[in-house]
Amino acid sequence: MKKCLIAPSILSADCARLGEDISKALDAGGDLVHFDVMDNHYVPNLTMGPMVVKALRNYGITAPIDVHLMVEPVDHIIPYFAEAGANYITFHPEASKHIDRTLQLIKTSGCYSGLALNPATPLNILDYVMHKLDIIVVMSVNPGFSSQLFIPNALHKIHQVRQLINQSGYDICLAVDGGITINNFSEIAAAGTDMFVVGSAIFNQIDYKKAIDGMRYIISNSIPESYCKNHTLIISS
């Protein structure tokens, strides 16, 4: 079994001791840091900016940082996150007037590029940009807040995106973000997920390692080996 990725989502971490809490989750077996950026415009919430990414790097976080931009417009802020230390940058197609151009801007900035698909975002948005994608994030909640319940119809969408990736022949990582718990982890894994963005199911637990080890056990018993790949985009800072 090749390794799938668990990305602790710091939206659920202790903001008063963010560096310490993230280090604890990574030491417990997390693979990369998922960093949610909200602007109180595209989504009804306000979170963190590039300075926090830079602060985490200065603190000593060397794991890859996956920046999920829930902002509109999106292009202006991309270079700032790249300069601050992001490795992946994903955005929502609804937040860009020219999706292809935004993806190219991410790559030009030195990061891996991705799209985050809301529950109601149609998959034909991918038709002409698959060759520029390193990651596709299927949102299994509506973006904006942590600790939401998983939307069951997202499972069908995960299966569909898995099939599109396999048919494309490109090395694209399939991530799922939102409402992932130990109770639904198995079916999300079996749908063909490569990366699991997990917030409260890690940070709300007393023992982070026990939580992540439990997820790894489920992965090992749920995912066909062909689904779980060591993607070339996984790098360190």
- Active-site residues, by number, are 36, 177
The residues with which 89 forms a beta bridge, in sequence order, are 67, 113
Whether the bond between 152 and the residue before it is cis, its omega within 30 degrees of 0, is no
231 is in an annotated binding site: no
Backbone φ, ψ for residue 8 (5° rounding): -60, 130
DSSP assignment, residue 227?
G
Q: What tokens were used for 95?
A: 């937040």
159 is in an annotated binding site: no
Letter for the amino acid at 135? I
41 is in an annotated binding site: no
- Whose tokens are 């940082």? That residue is 65
Task: For residue 179, give the nearest of 213, 212, 144 by alpha carbon.
Answer: 144
d(CA 25, CA 173): 21
- Whose tokens are 């590039």? That residue is 50
Q: How many CB atoms lie within 10 A of CB 145?
A: 14
Our measurement of the distance from residue 188's CA atom to the centroid of its chain's CA atoms, rounded to an integer in Å, reads 14
178 is in an annotated binding site: yes
98 is in an annotated binding site: no
Q: How many CB atoms lie within 10 A of CB 111?
A: 24
Q: Are strands 112-117 and 135-139 parallel, antiparallel or unpaired?
A: parallel
127 is in an annotated binding site: no
Q: How many CB atoms lie within 10 A of CB 191?
A: 22
Annotated binding site for a divalent metal cation: 34, 36, 68, 177
**Which amino acids are annotated as binding site, given as ranges?**
9, 34, 36, 68, 177-179, 199-200
Binding residues for substrate: 9, 68, 177-179, 199-200
